Amino acid sequence: MTVFLQYLVNGLSMGSVYAIIALGYTMVYGIAKMLNFAHGDVIMIGAYISFCVTSYLGLPAIVSVVAAVAVCTALGILIEGFAYKPLRQAGPLAVLITAIGVSYFLQNAAQLIWGATPKNFTSIVSFPVPDFLRAYNVSAVSLVTVVACLVIMAGLMWFTGKTKMGKAMRAVSEDKAAAQLMGINVNRTISMTFAIGSALAAIAGVLLCSYSPVLQPTTGSMPGIKAFTAAVFGGIGSIPGAFVGGILLGIIEAMAQAYISTSLANSIVFAVLIVVLLVKPAGLFGRYVPEKV
């Protein structure tokens, strides 16, 4: 039983990281309707920034997180403005290939700056955890991750539901033309969404590397893809969906690694996604809109 709970805790903490990435992904997808393959690489950049601030400048962890968020937010706005904005009217494939180009660019830029050899990332948080919790593998990082994830989700729900900007985002994701006619600045709203998504990616990057300390230019790709899977799982565009999807994905992955096969863990995660999509084509919390004839 203890062992099972330990795996569950692992799954929950990793799932919370996925959920944070998925929340950012789902916001961006909801508004831009594009598979943003560069999202995972923004995570990696965030982690590198945090790594530099703590290791090279010797500043406290919290400063490094703020720096990572600031850099990634700016990066998100820049990517959107330079690469995606000129393609607003283009087909989905052109945007997809551009996103892949951006992903290559970030990975190779990171390799030029920081080298291909993995950096050893030191966890940003460490405080004593009570013994009875530690017995179940609960670490300081996992506590912080789960709390951060909950806070972020609640914050996003409030933001999209109550604030003017958030409502504008929902309007733009429904219908860009109509939103524009209602006086919403569509371009600014989209930039804002990318900013939020990238800020979340930065936080996720720092937390991700606090778990698995190996930091290299490709660190972000697989978690990025898996987090997108989580977002699809929960129903793309839905905030609670991304949260639930991320957590479930983390747990499924942890259990698969523990009880079935380490080398097939990703396959099992993907297989579950496929089954979910076949049963519920729009994901767990998604809305299925049939084509009008």
Based on the shown chain and the rule CB under 8 A, indicate whether residue 255 belongs to the binding site for another protein: no
- Virtual torsion, Cα 246, 275, 287, 185, nearest 10 deg: 50
Closest distance of CB 134 from another protein, Å: 28
Based on the shown chain and the rule CB under 8 A, indicate whether residue 77 belongs to the binding site for another protein: no
Joined together, the tokens standing for residue 245 give 């999807």
Closest distance of CB 25 from another protein, Å: 11
Residue selected from 61, 100, 125, 284 as contacting another protein according to rule CB under 8 A: 100
Query: What whole-number distance in Å separates Cα of residue 108 and Cα of residue 115?
Result: 9
Based on the shown chain and the rule CB under 8 A, indicate whether residue 117 belongs to the binding site for another protein: no
Based on the shown chain and the rule CB under 8 A, indicate whether residue 113 belongs to the binding site for another protein: no
Query: What whole-number distance in Å separates Cα of residue 98 and Cα of residue 202?
Result: 21
Joined together, the tokens standing for residue 228 give 């997108």
| Count, residues near another protein per rule CB under 8 A | 46
Residues numbered 202 to 231 that lie near another protein (CB under 8 A) are 221, 225, 228-229
DSSP state of 285: S
What would you report as the CA-atom Rg of the chain, rounded to the nearest whole angstrom?
A: 19
User: For residue 74, what are the CA distances in angstroms to 1, 7, 30, 43, 71?
Assistant: 46, 37, 20, 13, 5
Based on the shown chain and the rule CB under 8 A, indicate whether residue 278 belongs to the binding site for another protein: yes
User: For residue 177, how many other CB atoms are within 10 A of its CB?
Assistant: 9
Query: What whole-number distance in Å separates Cα of residue 291 and Cα of residue 255?
Result: 38
Strand (E) or helix (H) holding 215: strand 214-215
Q: Which residue has the tokens 């969404």?
A: 193
Closest distance of CB 131 from another protein, Å: 33
Query: What whole-number distance in Å separates Cα of residue 129 and Cα of residue 133?
Result: 7
Residue selected from 1, 177, 181, 293 as contacting another protein according to rule CB under 8 A: 293
Q: Which residue number, 2 or 89, has a Cβ lying nearer to another protein?
A: 89
Closest distance of CB 148 from another protein, Å: 26
DSSP state of 110: H
Query: What whole-number distance in Å separates Cα of residue 173 and Cα of residue 137?
Result: 40
Q: Which stretch binds another protein (CB under 8 A): 62-70, 108-116, 133-141, 239-247?
A: 108-116
Based on the shown chain and the rule CB under 8 A, indicate whether residue 133 belongs to the binding site for another protein: no
Per-position x/- string for 152-191, each x denoting binding to another protein as judged by CB under 8 A, each - no binding: ----------------------------------------
Closest distance of CB 137 from another protein, Å: 22
Residues that bind another protein (CB under 8 A): 33, 35, 83, 86-87, 89-94, 96-98, 100-102, 104-105, 107-109, 111-112, 221, 225, 228-229, 232, 236, 260-264, 266-267, 270-271, 273-274, 277-278, 281, 291, 293
